[in-house]
Structure 1
Amino acid sequence: MSNQNQEIKVENLEIPDRIKKDYIDEGITELNPPQRKAVNSGLMDGDDMIVASPTASGKTFIAELAMVNQVVKQEKTAVYIVPLKALASEKYQDFSERYENLNVRISVGDLDDEGKGLDNADIVVTTSEKLDSMLRHNPSWIHNIGLVVTDEIHLLTSPERGPTLEVTLTRLRELLDFQMLGLSATISNSSELATWLDAELVESSYRPVDLEHGVYWQNEVEFFTGDEEIDEEDDSSAPEGFKTGAEVKKQEEKKDEGRTEFIDDVHGRGVTNIIEDTLEQEKQAIVFCNSRKGAEKSSDRAGKVTDNDIDYQERQELEEYADRIVNVLGSPTSQCKRLAENVRKGAAFHHAGLVTEQRNLVEEAFRKGLIRTVSATPTLAAGVNLPAFRVIIRDLKRYTGSGMDFIPVLEYEQMTGRAGRPKYDDRGEAISIAKNPGMKDEILNRYILGEPERIQSKLAVKPVLRMHTLALVASKFCTDMDELLSFYKKTFYAHQFEEMSEVEAQIKDVVDQLIDYGFLHEEELEATKVGRRVSELYIDPDSAHRMLQSLEKAQQKEAVKPVSYLFMLARTSEMNPPLRVKDKEWSDYEQMLMDARDYLLESIPNEWDVEYESFMNSMKTAAMMQAWIGENDEEKLMNEFNIAPGGIRAKMRNADWLVYAAKELARTEELDTDKDLEKLRIRLKHGIKEELLSLVKYDQIGRVRARKLHDNGVRDMEDIREVSFEKLKKLIGKRTAKKLKKQVGEENIFDRENIMDYFD
């Protein structure tokens, strides 16, 4: 970050002592080029700004300068928007440590609140979805916002997150007068984005460490800088510390004499060679793969190499991490054991199939240098800050539903941006594996020399318009059709495409649909009571309509079972993607669907109808949830439904919110289903049968301990009071037994022989 010729010194800016400790004490005393550009372009004067520069170029520090300026000087609240909860946690931790005298808060959880406790916040770290949700409640604290930082603002082009971010920014700009700061990767139409936001554009290609792009093919790596190709035949032209192509090939031939048994494909062999070279330089590497299975297989291979690089002390520490990873779940799965075994060898895989605690442990051990390589899916590139000296891109294609297609250039740049650690390396290396001779030139032209794609608005999708249109009307932000259309004309979509006739037609269709659902009044553009509640609950109006219809039928049915409600949940858009029924499973799930017919709250279509396949997939999704509340462990669910623990947790979080929303909707419409839904919500949370409901209400009693207690005759409060402490200790451990006894008011009532054991 240092540059001898720069004039603007960090110490000349009014910033907290903690920043000086973090930056100046480390020798970072001057602003780097994008930071200097931002300050010179009016950052500290409150000007709106888009900063487009590579990963690790110091964009967060630009945001910090703006935050301090607004919070300390202007006494305003700064909001920092990130795309993912994991990123929010990381930024919250960083800002909390750095700004010890400021009130830093994080808000990413409950989507049915206005931001409790944020009235006195100086800095609020949140996601766009959570901020959108809070705006629907019109909280008073938002009127003190002086700065909104949007990290990864180029994700406006994301079909999943872009529309909500776009509507939220448009709405904030209409509501408030504040400084807008967007942080973006390098994109080809950053000027278009800046024009939409009426913001200054600060562009820079600066990186604190040089990034060298290479291509591996037939045991050789060729590095490219700009449009110049490095001659790998000339030792002097290869980057210092890295083998020329000839040297790598020679090493490979020697290695192949006795260790070919674990190298079973070309790109796997290439990754292994590069990892070996990385370890010789005492560096770390991240390997990006196009699938979870690919990442796991890559990690298995890497472990056979990294295992020889671990010393005794490191092995002891890795053993501790492995034990924690394998015991995260109540009953370890084969995936848990596989990851733990890799970690013991100094390797790991990282993908959405892991639960959050496992991903956090992998990241922590990697940052400490204990884990030498992480094999990951591309989600890691867009997630937490986890740089490495070398990034290896094993797969540049992935399956998209219509075949294997090349990944976007922007995604390639996000992955390669992880190469090089500013505090430790003077350069980083990004090496792509070519799968065939022609791919070498393809990688060079498409990715290394290629332009990142233009970001494009994804707002014009009916489900998105349906949800946000209801929110705009329910919060009385728009009170008639003209205001509604006027709002959408201020979005990035309107700015990009100008022609709004198609969107206007869709908006009118959406309004008609919301009227049919009973969420808007027919006479005037105003939300009904239930429509307002749907908006506040932050669920798709279509999902709300389906659930309300199902809940009304539930009241009329004589027999309603858990599968009735589970199928209802599986039919909502929030549970997408559903579990897919494979051809070989079709007859089994068709029979299951027929067996459940009398209990379902929707009529089953004919098998030739278009909707029939959707019903089958919903049945499989409901069956997975049924298995979960039937106390089947994660391993069985993995084998039977092909869903990893991380996926199970994600589905259960969505299901939990939907059940809560269903309860609220039922209460609003005065439907008597509250008791059944509350039982189901607790069962989904813990993965238990109904007979354990009376036990899991106690702190630290989950599905495993509750089952132990129940099977040993401890089934309710009276049993807990009556059972001896000695027996309880054997069942659930001394510490938990103490807490359980205390919760039922029995902490001081033990027989004499156990009283000292309790208090020790």
Structure 2
Amino acid sequence: MLAATPRNWFSKPEFVGRAARFDAAQMDAGRTRQGDSPRFDVSRTRIALRFIRDTRHCEWHFLDPVSYIGCNANSGEHKKMRTSDAQGPGVDAWLLQRLHRWGIDWLTDVQQRALAAGAADGRSLVVSAPTSSGKTLVGEIAVLCALRSSVRAIYLVSHKALADQKYLDFIARFGEGAAEPIGSVGLNTGDRTEGNIDAQLMVATYEKALGLFLSGQLRPNNALVVADELQILGEPGRGPDIEALCSALRQRGIRQFVALTATVENPEDIAGWMACDLVRSTHRDVPLHQEIWYGGQAHRTKFGDDSGQDVPSGATPTNDIGAVVDHLLRLDRGPVLVFTESRREAVNFATAFGQRRPRVGVGIEMAEQLDLFSEPTESSDQLRENAERRVAFHTADLSPQERQVIEGGFTDGKFEVCFATSTLAAGVNFPFRTIVFSKLTYRWGDRAGSHIVRSDYRNMSGRAGRLGMHPDGFAVLLPQNNVELAHANKLVLPDNDRLNSQLVNLSIRKTILTLVASGLASSFAEVMTFFENTLYWYQTLNRNPTKLATLVTESRAAVDWLATNALIRNEADTLLITSLGNAAAMSGLLPATAVQLAAMLCTVGPKLAASFDEWIPGLIYAACASDEFRAERPSRFFPFPSQSNYESVTFWGAKPLPVPLDRNDLKLAQCAHAIALYAEGLADRKIAYAARVQGGTIHRLALDVAWVLDGLHKLSTTPELGCPQPVSNQIAMLARRVRWGAPPEALDVLRVAERHSVPGFGRQRAMGLVAQGIATLHDILATAKDKLVQLLRSEPRALALIDAVSSTVGLGPSRLASAHRKTGQELGIEHLVKACNDALGTEYEEAIVALLQVEAAWSVKALDDGTRPNVPDLLIVLGSQQVLLECKTCTKSPPFIKKEEAWAVMQKAADFDSAMRRVTLGKPAFDETSKNKAAASKDITLIEHSVFMEGLLRVHSGTLSAADFMTWLGSPGVAELERLGGSPTYTGK
């Protein structure tokens, strides 16, 4: 067969690294179809052939067969399989026993196929199947088998909420919560970090994983990578970063790659690009019936079928939402989920429908739970009112805890109807039997006038019918006119959308900066080699090879731009990253944003150092005015205010701004105004009144603005910009304030409350305590229980908060501890490292002295030897550099070093030479009040134990000089790892 292939098909240079698609008949006819998958049919068995070009002889050689395990929706009966009967490479008694313990007694069609293809044996797979077909278990099986073989695993997800959910699931299945733990589990979403920095299984969002990869904290070499919901590669905003990450992971040599994707027209493109076998199924083990209700008639099409039939008496006479839901409940098709376009619509529908129903006992029980787990917001009262009638709404206005209560209520069958915005479709696994689409045409925002796209419809309708709970699922479409009727008929067809690369649609500059920063490319030729490994190159070769010449031209222009703006250096055709460029790459900011913010810091840096608080609102405005929100192709988006408000422009006109005020951009002015008020801790309803931005959208916007401010902080630590450490400290503090929506004194309480899931305790209740003078963790423990009960309006809530504060250990164990232990082993000083990590009080001082004395370049003297009271603990001398070090450990709850203890070194060193630097070493951590005060000080340095250990071990490893360590240690403010030179301990093998 291969001999019949004309060589000239493949002799063109643009086909290098590309597989061509052909079947037997086409090969004999000497032709191929562009854009097809790499396979041919022989006796109805589809086998993809992988080829590689011999560049010396311009010939193509067969490498190995690639499994193409697929099925068509109408290709025959799909039989359920008992888990005990599963077969495939790596499937053994141990694996089957684990699955049985997880309660997995039956395997779905795609699970059977994935096991047969080698998911349990290290084979790289693209698993393409409909929503709710059981793809997630395939990824979990791959993780289980990897951990069993001591292979590190990285699980990538699309959203933070999914990452939180998977983290908890994996702790129960693989980690400390499992009956037989098999590996440590970590989490990193940017907003939340849990577990060791080198956990055996790391759960991360795609965007955060890219930053971890650049910083060396994500080490994919010889690891398993599971990429969940990988169809988001096709999203214009997020796709480019995700494609760059996957291409980089592939180039670094991962051991196994398992991609889980919903049905797309061309999953073979992903498989060919990532050199994976393709497991494809269009079968849903829970049948999905798609119904179009129009003009009092109903037409039903089973998912995967080309045609359907009319359903007698299946529809309501009108498409009134209340009547439709009532009819579905009478047909016993509950619980029902109605998708709405906006939060306001969801609340209004839920309220109107709920008023027609009686209060019931199970509903009153759910309302009581919501009362405990809700904060006093605009929506919380209405949420409880509806809950009493077994009706809920699910929108961005709800707190995470409120969502958990609602999600649990549906899982337990205590709710019957939910009205929700489409964001619910993003992977949340609710047990709904029926999904209703109240409209098919958007009416508001940027999408106004456009129809719901097929990929969104598939994702949302896929929520109907849950394995093990429902015999089938229903998707009900309610077109409002003949145009929508025609669109509905297209949505229910089995056709799928193509997934197309978005790599060049956002920022080639950002991609190239990422390559240079990660070390994947140090020349223009290597940049283009990387692009040849991308999905964009893979797809474009077949469709329009001439576009690749445009990519070369644009890439050269991008390299020139990056060099002109000092993000990279081009020395004799060698591309080198600058400190500023490295910070920009790790921040995830668009390069244009990084250049804007860097220029701003150079201009207003001295003013920030002189009076930072005065410029806080202006920095928020600058973050909102950046290209992240306002570029032609932005990476972030402003919500739409409920109405225009020119008072927000007046607000900004009275503030010092580091960037020009755009008086014509009302959306910018209102959104930035809302965030400025949010960071002060103002209540949502007051913000909505002042800036006309609703509560739920404020919370989401705050995360985006905090992300930009985090990027600004990274930039500020680079030597090129000359920002002093206190300014960087205060920018980092501002980012935390924006993220949590509270002033510094409330941040510790909020983080501890979230970590321990204190019911119904968020920013507004925290601000209520602050108003009563109860701001810190220590204040809470010093307050009478009865007073807390009164202020928090719930004894269980007050007791949960007291318990959380009493039992917390800092903000969790040091994520660097295991990396430090390994470094200690390599250096032969493990016992010294362990002593520093374990010791408290005077023993801690002794342990620190012993570890310091490993370095011979400096001298270490114990000043507080028991005979000289009221002096600092240690004096470290290296030439003219002298540091007075006070060691503080906390043995009480909560274990945070308070401001009085942090500042004790100033009083103890009052009569020492002013040239000596004053440093407090705190274990485990300082409270936010101490850090906030240190950020505004020029006389003291606060350094936390894990940060000090990281710096000291870099010295002992020989990657950081003792003099540079002393300079860093003595810099005023809160010591930052970003300013520390040398090689991190956590990027080793």
User: One fold, TM greater than 0.5?
Assistant: yes
Judging by fraction of residues, say which structure has more strand: 2
Residue 406 (str. 1) matches residue 457 (str. 2): no
Matching residue of 1:491: 534
Could you give the per-residue CA deviations for residues 698-723 of structure 1, whole angstroms, max 9, x where no partner exists? 96698667766666677999999999
Moved more, 681-690 or 203-212: 681-690
- Where structure 1 has 5 or more consecutive residues not aligned to the other structure, the ranges are 234-243, 253-265, 606-611, 747-760
Matching residue of 2:335: 284
Judging by fraction of residues, say which structure has more helix: 1
Secondary structure of 2:288's partner?
strand
Pairs within 5 Å for 1:462-541? 462-463=506-507, 465-498=508-541, 499-523=547-571, 524-541=574-591
Pairing partner for 1:67 from 140, 143, 150: 143
Amino acid at match of 2:526: E
Distance 1:32 1:568, change over 3 A: closer
Give the CA deviation at 1:210. 1.4
Pairs within 5 Å for 1:486-635? 486-498=529-541, 499-523=547-571, 524-557=574-607, 560-574=614-628, 576-578=636-638, 585-586=645-646, 588-596=647-655, 599-604=656-661, 613-614=664-665, 616-635=666-685
Residue 138 (str. 1) matches residue 138 (str. 2): no
Pairing partner for 1:670 from 698, 718, 722: 722
Q: TM-score, normalised by structure 2?
A: 0.63
Amino acid at match of 1:287: V
Could you give the per-residue CA deviations for residues 135-189 of structure 1, whole angstroms, max 9, x where no partner exists? 10224743340x2222222211012222122111111111114222222212111
Give the CA deviation at 1:217. 1.9
Secondary structure of 2:467's partner?
coil
Secondary structure of 2:292's partner?
strand
Residue 380 (str. 1) matches residue 424 (str. 2): yes
Distance 1:355 1:543, change over 3 A: farther
Pairing partner for 1:638 from 688, 693, 696: 688
Give the CA deviation at 1:526. 0.7
Give the CA deviation at 1:473. 0.6
Distance 1:693 1:104, change over 3 A: closer
Distance 1:93 1:680, change over 3 A: closer
Amino acid at match of 2:249: L
**C-alpha distance in 1 between matches for 2:895 and 2:254:** 54
Distance 1:106 1:365, change over 3 A: farther
Give the conservation status (yes or no) of the 8 Å contact 2:780–2:802. Answer: no
Give the conservation status (yes or no) of the 8 Å contact 1:111–1:538. Answer: no
Give the CA deviation at 1:688. 4.9
Distance 1:371 1:627, change over 3 A: same
Distance 1:98 1:720, change over 3 A: closer
**C-alpha distance in 2 between matches for 1:289 and 1:716:** 41
**C-alpha distance in 2 between matches for 1:387 and 1:737:** 35
Matching residue of 2:841: none
Give the conservation status (yes or no) of the 8 Å contact 1:187–1:454. Answer: yes
**C-alpha distance in 2 between matches for 1:713 and 1:388:** 46
**C-alpha distance in 1 between matches for 2:144 and 2:749:** 45
Give the CA deviation at 1:478. 0.7
Residue 54 (str. 1) matches residue 130 (str. 2): yes
Distance 1:358 1:120, change over 3 A: closer
Could you give the per-residue CA deviations for residues 615-644 of structure 1, whole angstroms, max 9, x where no partner exists? x54332321122224443101223443433
Secondary structure of 1:577's partner?
coil
Using the aligned pairs only, state the percent identity: 23
Amino acid at match of 2:349: S
Give the conservation status (yes or no) of the 8 Å contact 2:713–2:728. Answer: yes
Residue 296 (str. 1) matches residue 340 (str. 2): no
**C-alpha distance in 1 between matches for 2:622 and 2:563:** 22
Could you give the per-residue CA deviations for residues 707-755 of structure 1, whole angstroms, max 9, x where no partner exists? 6666667799999999999878866787568969976999xxxxxxxxx
Give the conservation status (yes or no) of the 8 Å contact 1:51–1:59. Answer: yes
Residue 182 (str. 1) matches residue 259 (str. 2): yes
Pairing partner for 2:249 from 172, 184, 203: 172
Secondary structure of 1:267's partner?
coil
**C-alpha distance in 2 between matches for 1:743 and 1:133:** 32
Could you give the per-residue CA deviations for residues 519-568 of structure 1, whole angstroms, max 9, x where no partner exists? 21243411112221222233333222222222222235487432222222
Give the conservation status (yes or no) of the 8 Å contact 1:213–1:430. Answer: yes
Pairing partner for 1:339 from 359, 376, 383: 383
Amino acid at match of 1:267: N
Distance 1:494 1:685, change over 3 A: closer
Give the conservation status (yes or no) of the 8 Å contact 2:749–2:777. Answer: no
Distance 1:359 1:13, change over 3 A: same
Pairs within 5 Å for 1:216-227? 216-225=293-302, 226-227=305-306
Pairing partner for 2:291 from 207, 214, 219: 214
Pairs within 5 Å for 1:48-197? 48-72=124-148, 74-99=149-174, 100=178, 101-110=181-190, 117-121=196-200, 123-139=201-217, 141-145=219-223, 147-197=224-274
Amino acid at match of 1:50: V
Pairing partner for 2:109 from 33, 42, 57: 33
Distance 1:556 1:20, change over 3 A: closer
- CA-based RMSD of the aligned residues comes to 3.8
Secondary structure of 2:645's partner?
helix
Distance 1:717 1:150, change over 3 A: closer
Distance 1:629 1:91, change over 3 A: closer
Give the CA deviation at 1:216. 1.2
Could you give the per-residue CA deviations for residues 664-712 of structure 1, whole angstroms, max 9, x where no partner exists? 432323324346535644643554568x679979966986677666666
**C-alpha distance in 2 between matches for 1:75 and 1:139:** 18
Q: TM-score, normalised by structure 1?
A: 0.81
**C-alpha distance in 1 between matches for 2:309 and 2:455:** 24
- Where structure 2 has 5 or more consecutive residues not aligned to the other structure, the ranges are 1-77, 542-546, 630-635, 754-760, 807-891, 898-989
**C-alpha distance in 2 between matches for 1:15 and 1:86:** 29
Secondary structure of 2:142's partner?
helix
Pairing partner for 1:232 from 311, 316, 331: 311
Give the conservation status (yes or no) of the 8 Å contact 1:106–1:125. Answer: yes
Give the conservation status (yes or no) of the 8 Å contact 1:571–1:618. Answer: yes
Give the CA deviation at 1:83. 0.9
**C-alpha distance in 2 between matches for 1:389 and 1:715:** 46
Matching residue of 1:267: 319
Secondary structure of 1:334's partner?
coil
Could you give the per-residue CA deviations for residues 269-310 of structure 1, whole angstroms, max 9, x where no partner exists? 4x53334432552731111122222222222233245x34x6
Give the CA deviation at 1:15. 0.6
Aligned length: 691
Distance 1:709 1:173, change over 3 A: closer
Matching residue of 1:752: none
Q: Which has the greater radius of gyration?
A: 2
Give the conservation status (yes or no) of the 8 Å contact 2:111–2:135. Answer: yes
Give the CA deviation at 1:593. 4.3
